Chain A
Amino acid sequence: MNEFCFKDCTEIRELTGKKADDEATLMELIEEAPLDSIYYHTHSYFLRHFYIAGPYPNDFANWAAVQVRDKALGEKLSGVTPSPSHDLESVRNELVDIIDAHLSEIRTVPAVIFGQPFYFMKSKIIEVPTQLSVHDLQEFRDALAVVHASAIYNHIFEARMRVRRGKSDFALWLEDVLGLKDLAAGIEGIDAYMFSLEGLRQKILSLCDRELQKGSDGA
C-alpha cells in the first residue's frame, strides 16, 4: 500500500486550428485558449526536447524570439513559469499582461515575416504503469536512475499542474510515506523549468544520495 509505483507517460498532441501570425493575435488567442493549451505550451516542451533545448522554457517565448525575431519579447516571456502560488490561469494572465505592455511600448505590431506562425495546440497524456514499484529511499533512488524520462515528467509536471495535486508525486510520497520532509522540500525547491528531464533526474538523484549519505553517517 505504501509503495511508490512509477508510471511512464506518452502524449497525444491535438491541433486546435488556431494560429497567430503577429504578437497582437498571439495575445488575443492566449486570452481565449483553453488551459490545456496554456499548459501544453509551457510544459509539454520538456517531453519534446529530452536533450536539445531551445533558448527558453516555453513555446511563447521561443516563438517571439526565434520566429518573430523579437528578442525583447522573448526575454520578457521567458521567465513565465508556474509555481505553487502561480497556477495556469495566473500564467495566462501574466503572459497577456507582458505582451500587452510590450505592444504598448512599440509603434508597430511585430509579426512573422520569414518564420512560422504560432500554432495553438493541446495534449492528452496517456499514463503507462511500469514494473517499477519501490518501498524505501534506496529503491526509489535506484528506480529513478533507470526510469524512462517521461515518468519524471509525469510525476512532476503532470502531478503538479494538470492533476492538481499541488506537489510532485515524488515529494508527496517521500513526505507522507517515508516521512522525509526535508528531501521532499528539497525536490519541491528545485527550479524544474531550468532543466531538461535528464537534468532534473540528476538533480533529484543527487538530493537522494545526500539524504542516503546522511542516513549512513548517522547510523
Chain B
Amino acid sequence: MAPNITLESYHNVAPAGTIDLAYKLSEQLKGRTMLHVNSTRWGGGVAEMLHRLVPIFKDLGIDIRWDVIEGTPEFYQVTKSFHNALQGESQVISPEMYETYLKVNRKNGRKMDLNADFVVIHDPQPAPLIYKRKKDSAWLWRCHIDASHPQRKVWNFLKQYVSRYNGAIFSLPGFAQKLSIPQILMYPSIDPLSDKNRDLSEDEIEALTGPYHIPRDKPMILQVSRFDRFKDPLGVIAAYKMVKKYTDCCLVLAGGSAADDPEGRAVLNEVKSAAEQDADIFILDLPPDANLQINALQRRASVVIQKSLKEGFGLTVAEAMWKGKPVIGGFVGGITVQIVYGQTGYTIHSIEGCAYRIRYLLNNPGVAQRMGEQAREFTRRNYLITRHLCDYLALMRMYIR
C-alpha cells in the first residue's frame, strides 16, 4: 500500500478548490463504512488505483476496507473467458464453468465480511457476491472493461446479478448496457504523485533515459503500450517513416514485457523487423515495474502517440498529457474523451493522418507547447485521482441516506 498518502499531499497538483470540495463532501460521511472488493491485490489498473485511493479515504475519516476474493486456477480461467467474452471475443463457456464461477463466489461470500454502508464490487469476478447485500447498504458494480459489444449469452448470465445492484458504474458512455438500475459514468484516473507521473528533475530524466542511448539532437516521438496489434505499433512505424522523409526525428516504442504472451512476442518480432535498418527507431521491452523509466520517456518526448485501433480507456493518454505533451491518438474508446481535437492534441483515423499531425507538431513547437499546457490543465481537471475521489464521495452522499 502506498505509504503516507494524505489528501493534503495533492494540494499543489489538484485544481483549485478540489481538496476543499473533497473535505466538504466527506464531512457527512465520517465514520461511514466503505468496502471495495476485487480479484487481485497486485497487478492491473484496479489494484493500482485502490492502493492509492484507500489511504486517502482513510485520511478523510471514512472507515474503508479493501478485500480480495480468493479463487482457484480454474476460476481465474473462467473469469478470463468471461472477460474476453464481455469484450466481444467469441468464447465457449460450459455449464460447468458457470458453476465453478458461482461456487467460488459462494465460498467467498461465506468467508468474507461484506458488511458496509457502501460496497463497490469491481469487475465480473466477484459480481455474484450481491446475494450477501443487506437491506440498508448500497452496492455498486464497477465495470472497468469495455463491455460495449459483449457476447450476449455471457452478458445475460452476468446481468442477472448486475441487475440486483443499486447501480452500475461504467468508464465511458459507450460501455453502457440496457439495465434497469442507474448507470453512472465515472472516468478512471491517474495519480500525479505516483512514480509513473510524479515530477522528475532534468538530471533524473537523463539518468533514467540515458541507458537507452536515444539521440538528443532530434525530436523524439513516443508510443507507450504493450506489443499488441490493437495498439498498432506497425502503424506507428509507418507514420514515423512518412514523417522522416521531411523532418528528422527518432521513434521510441516502449512496451511491457511480452515474455509470457505468445501473441505479444509475435507482434514484437514483427515490430523489430519493421524497424530493421533504421538506427533512429528504439524498441524498449520494459519490465512491468519500469514506471519511472516510462515517466522519464514521456517527459523527454516531443510528441506522444497512442495510435490504438481498439482501446478501453487508454490512460497512457492522460499520463502523457499530464506531462504537458500533446497527444495524437486513434479515434477509439477513451482516447476520444481525453483528446480535445486541436486543443490537447489530435484524434486521427489513419496512418497518413497520424503522420501529418506529427509533422505539424514537430514543425510548430509553439503550437505543441500551447497544446501541451492545455492538455496538462485538461488532465488536472478531469483525470486526476482527486476528481475520482470526489466522484466516489458524491456517490456515497447520493446513496447513503
Those of A1-29 within 8 Å (CB) of chain B: 8, 10-17, 19
- In the complex, what residues of B have CB within 8 A of residue A149's CB? 17
Contacts A51-B374, A148-B16, A148-B17 hold; do A119 and B174 have CB atoms under 8 A apart? Answer: yes
Closest residue of B by beta carbon distance from A7: B24
Which of A79-87, A96-104, A124-132 makes up part of the contact surface?
A124-132
Cβ-defined contact, B398 with A52, below 8 A? no
Question: Could you list some 6 contacts between A and B, CB below 8 A?
Answer: A13-B186, A14-B182, A14-B183, A15-B173, A15-B176, A17-B177
Cβ-defined contact, B398 with A15, below 8 A? no
Cβ-defined contact, A51 with B377, below 8 A? yes
Interface of A is mostly: strand
| Additional pairs, 13, CB under 8 Å, beyond known A8-B21, A15-B184 | A8-B24, A10-B391, A12-B391, A15-B176, A15-B185, A16-B183, A17-B177, A52-B343, A66-B341, A121-B173, A124-B398, A126-B397, A148-B20
Cβ-defined contact, A14 with B374, below 8 A? no
Q: Which of A12, A50, A119 has the most CB of B within 10 A?
A: A12
Which of A8, A14, A54, A115 is in CB contact (< 8 Å) with B185?
A14
- In the complex, what residues of B have CB within 8 A of residue A10's CB? 21, 25, 390-391, 394
Contacts A17-B183, A52-B378, A148-B17 hold; do A12 and B394 have CB atoms under 8 A apart? Answer: yes
Closest residue of B by beta carbon distance from A125: B394
User: B178 at the A/B interface (Cβ < 8 Å)?
Assistant: yes
Cβ-defined contact, B374 with A15, below 8 A? no
- In the complex, what residues of B have CB within 8 A of residue A13's CB? 184-186
- In the complex, what residues of A have CB within 8 A of residue B125's CB? none
User: B284 at the A/B interface (Cβ < 8 Å)?
Assistant: no
Residue-wise interface mask of B (155-192) relative to A, using a CB-CB cutoff of 8 A (1 in contact, 0 not): 00000000000000010011011110011111000000
**Shortest Cβ distance from residue B381 to the other chain A in the assembled complex, whole angstroms:** 6
- In the complex, what residues of B have CB within 8 A of residue A130's CB? 20, 24
A119 and B174 CA atoms in complex are apart in Å by: 7
Which of A48, A66, A115, A117 is in CB contact (< 8 Å) with B174?
A117
Cβ-defined contact, B397 with A17, below 8 A? no
Cβ-defined contact, A126 with B343, below 8 A? no
- In the complex, what residues of B have CB within 8 A of residue A50's CB? 15, 381
Closest residue of B by beta carbon distance from A48: B382
**Shortest Cβ distance from residue B94 to the other chain A in the assembled complex, whole angstroms:** 30
- In the complex, what residues of A have CB within 8 A of residue B322's CB? none
Closest residue of A by beta carbon distance from B331: A114
Number of interface residues of A (CB under 8 A): 31
- In the complex, what residues of A have CB within 8 A of residue B343's CB? 52
Cβ-defined contact, A126 with B25, below 8 A? yes
User: A116 at the A/B interface (Cβ < 8 Å)?
Assistant: yes
**Shortest Cβ distance from residue B189 to the other chain A in the assembled complex, whole angstroms:** 15
- In the complex, what residues of B have CB within 8 A of residue A54's CB? 340
User: B272 at the A/B interface (Cβ < 8 Å)?
Assistant: no
Cβ-defined contact, B17 with A8, below 8 A? yes
Closest residue of A by beta carbon distance from B396: A126
Closest residue of B by beta carbon distance from A126: B394
User: B336 at the A/B interface (Cβ < 8 Å)?
Assistant: yes
Cβ-defined contact, A128 with B17, below 8 A? no
Closest residue of B by beta carbon distance from A151: B17
Cβ-defined contact, B178 with A17, below 8 A? yes
**Shortest Cβ distance from residue A214 to the other chain B in the assembled complex, whole angstroms:** 31
Closest residue of B by beta carbon distance from A67: B336
Which of A14, A52, A66, A128 is in CB contact (< 8 Å) with B25?
A128
Contacts A10-B390, A52-B343 hold; do A128 and B24 have CB atoms under 8 A apart? Answer: yes
User: B349 at the A/B interface (Cβ < 8 Å)?
Assistant: yes
User: B344 at the A/B interface (Cβ < 8 Å)?
Assistant: yes
Residue-wise interface mask of B (360-388) relative to A, using a CB-CB cutoff of 8 A (1 in contact, 0 not): 00000000000000100110011000000
- In the complex, what residues of A have CB within 8 A of residue B391's CB? 10, 12
- In the complex, what residues of B have CB within 8 A of residue A148's CB? 16-17, 20-21
- In the complex, what residues of B have CB within 8 A of residue A114's CB? 331, 349
Which of B16, B182, B340 is in CB contact (< 8 Å) with A52?
B340
A13 and B374 CA atoms in complex are apart in Å by: 24
Closest residue of B by beta carbon distance from A52: B343
User: B395 at the A/B interface (Cβ < 8 Å)?
Assistant: yes
A68 and B377 CA atoms in complex are apart in Å by: 28
- In the complex, what residues of A have CB within 8 A of residue B176's CB? 15-17, 119
- In the complex, what residues of A have CB within 8 A of residue B378's CB? 51-52
Contacts A8-B24, A126-B394 hold; do A15 and B340 have CB atoms under 8 A apart? Answer: no
- In the complex, what residues of B have CB within 8 A of residue A126's CB? 25, 394, 397-398
A14 and B181 CA atoms in complex are apart in Å by: 11
- In the complex, what residues of A have CB within 8 A of residue B394's CB? 10-12, 126
**Shortest Cβ distance from residue A75 to the other chain B in the assembled complex, whole angstroms:** 18
A46 and B147 CA atoms in complex are apart in Å by: 29
Which of B183, B336, B341 is in CB contact (< 8 Å) with A15?
B183
Cβ-defined contact, B344 with A52, below 8 A? yes
A51 and B398 CA atoms in complex are apart in Å by: 28
A171 and B386 CA atoms in complex are apart in Å by: 32
Residue-wise interface mask of B (10-33) relative to A, using a CB-CB cutoff of 8 A (1 in contact, 0 not): 000001110011001100000000
A15 and B172 CA atoms in complex are apart in Å by: 9
- In the complex, what residues of A have CB within 8 A of residue B374's CB? 51-52
**Shortest Cβ distance from residue A16 to the other chain B in the assembled complex, whole angstroms:** 8
**Shortest Cβ distance from residue B17 to the other chain A in the assembled complex, whole angstroms:** 4
